[in-house]
Amino acid sequence: MDGAPLFLGPREAMEIQRVLGSDIAMVFDECPPHDAPAREQRLAVERTIRWARECREQPRADGQQVFGIVQGGSNAALREECARALVAMDFDGYAIGGVSVGEPEPEMFKAIEMTEPFLPTNKARYAMGLGTPAQLLELIARGVDMFDCVLPTRVARNGTAVTRRGAFGLKGSAYKADFRPIEEGCDCFACKHFTRAYLRHLLNVNEILALRMLSVHNVHLFLKLMADVRAAIAAGTFADFYREFIAHYTPSRKVLDARQREEER
């Protein structure tokens, strides 16, 4: 507040999360760019392991869990080393870090595949900063349990709706007389009360209600999708659910581009 420098390290990060009382506290880690040189990736892993050990020793709020974060970029040996070191510390769960940081999607999947085999099956596996519906299904198929991402509301602020068949921007003239809901069969508030045509009108006159309704729909879509995934896993039919979903989902480059633009800002 007064221009004085502030230091943030492992102890400070854990103290902040303890005071906040978050259900899950994340260790302090270093996430280098995906294309960082090998030496930089190596140093980041060493720091991440050292900081994780320090974080593990800090006091925590009542009932608070602490997750380790695996780094290592696209280097399989570094990811294994980092994962094994963190598992030896016996955290409550494990995050797969260093993904969705600008790398091509196939590289992201490879990083998950390099890490997942070294994480315990009886503890939560968390992919940080993901993703589109199709990406979530792809990573669940690879053994990931948890995700976090601002994408549903971020793309809503750019006028984009996310559906089970893909994402589309509502500002175009194609929706001027489209009186269907955002997504047929969706029971969210937005789909029950507003048409595509009206939401398009709101977007084009800069009425914030459109952004709110798209956010309501997008968040509802993600929550319902995850509920359906859990039901399919419980029923032993996830493989069929996954194949059918991926077969009908059309990735939207615009969604990912909008996310990248906001990250750059």
Is residue 188 domain-resident? yes
103 shares a domain with 42: yes
Is residue 164 domain-resident? yes
Share of the chain above pLDDT 70, in %: 95
CATH number at 74 reads 3.20.20.70
Number of domains in the chain: 2
Is residue 142 domain-resident? no
The single-letter code of the amino acid at 40 is E
What are the start-end ranges of the E strands in the chain? 24-26, 65-70, 93-96, 124-128, 146-148, 160-163, 166-169
Does 264 score more than 60 pLDDT? no
Distance of CA 194 to the CA centre of its chain: 28
**pTM of structure:** 0.86
The single-letter code of the amino acid at 32 is P
3-class DSSP state of 146: strand
As to burial, measured by CB atoms within 10 angstroms (0-12 exposed, 13-18 middle, 19+ buried), residue 197 is: middle
For all residues of the chain together, what is the average pLDDT?
A: 93
Give me the domain span that covers residue 58. Answer: 10-128
260 shares a domain with 220: yes
As to burial, measured by CB atoms within 10 angstroms (0-12 exposed, 13-18 middle, 19+ buried), residue 78 is: buried
121 shares a domain with 15: yes
Is residue 144 domain-resident? no
pLDDT at 101 (0 to 100):
86
Structure tokens that stand for 151 in this block = 């994408």
34 shares a domain with 110: yes
- Output Rg (C-alpha) for the chain, integer angstroms: 21
226 shares a domain with 177: yes
- Beta-carbon neighbour count of residue 141 at 10 Å? 15
19 shares a domain with 69: yes
Does 254 score more than 80 pLDDT? no
- What is the tens place of the pLDDT at every residue in 126-171? 999 888 999 999 999 999 999 999 999 999 999 999 999 999 999 9
Is residue 68 domain-resident? yes
Is residue 216 domain-resident? yes
225 shares a domain with 184: yes
Distance CA 171, CA 156 (A): 11
pLDDT at 1 (0 to 100):
83
229 shares a domain with 165: yes
The residue among 93, 128, 163 that closes a domain is 128
82 shares a domain with 36: yes
The residue among 95, 111, 128 that closes a domain is 128
Distance CA 169, CA 159 (A): 6
pLDDT at 212 (0 to 100):
98
pLDDT at 253 (0 to 100):
55
The residue among 112, 128, 144 that closes a domain is 128
Is residue 61 domain-resident? yes
186 shares a domain with 117: no
157 shares a domain with 258: yes
Is residue 137 domain-resident? no
Nearest to 49 by CA among 9, 76, 82, 15: 82
